A and B are shown apart, each in its own frame.
Chain A
Amino acid sequence: AQKITQTQPGMFVQEKEAVTLDCTYDTSDPSYGLFWYKQPSSGEMIFLIYQGSYDQQNATEGRYSLNFQKARKSANLVISASQLGDSAMYFCAMSRTSGSARQLTFGSGTQLTVLP
């Protein structure tokens, strides 16, 4: 069975600073995918970034980067130059197959608040 652990229920960051949201995972599958989603108060889940278990380099998407440490089973999200609009709930998730969004297992989330 797969499991995602997000140990930070809430985080605060000053506008324009960088912030790291923690995510650890557990799986016995050799092939898997790791995802980060943002959920604003409107409720819609917004895809941010993806990392495959066989990818050698850390994924980056604009201001988002995923710090993938396979041996530690961690997939932390780094947001650079935080903006007020980044305030939202952030979920780490994992799929059972690399290269697919099938059957995602989500963590419990981290509520990020960006302070002006």
Chain B
Amino acid sequence: DTGVSQDPRHKITKRGQNVTFRCDPISEHNRLYWYRQTLGQGPEFLTYFQNEAQLEKSRLLSDRFSAERPKGSFSTLEIQRTEQGDSAMYLCASSSTRQWRNTEAFFGQGTRLTVV
């Protein structure tokens, strides 16, 4: 069990470009979450998947954002036409509903996006 893995760790992009982040959850975890964290703030919920189904989306997730989890394993988060306001840490977390305590969400180390 290597924990939640996110790639890349850092991404610098020019405004208007598209970026894609990847998250590999803990292998037996069926739930996967994306959060965004700006400097000095707590994380904000973006979306979550149970297996391959995207069950909830925050109003923060504008039309430029899309997330997928095609086979119920890894997930991708794409941001199209990036804006400077998209600069943030993007955190992925996973949890399991099949464990006796499904309250523990394990977070990855995040992808830090800087839009210049």
Mark A residues whose CB is within 8 Å of B: 4, 33, 35, 37, 42-47, 50, 52, 91, 93, 95, 99-109
Contacts and interface: CB of A to CB of B under 8 A. Distances in A.
B105 A101 contact: yes
Nearest to B9: A43
Contacts of B112: 43
Given A42-B109, A44-B110, A108 B104 contact: no
B40 interface: yes
Give the contact-size bracket for chain B: 20 to 34
A47 B109 contact: no
A95 B48 CA distance: 13
A106 B45 CA distance: 9
Interface string B76-116: 00000000000001010101010001111111111010000
B103 A100 contact: yes
Nearest to A107: B42
A107 B42 CA distance: 6
A41 B109 CA distance: 10
Nearest to B111: A43
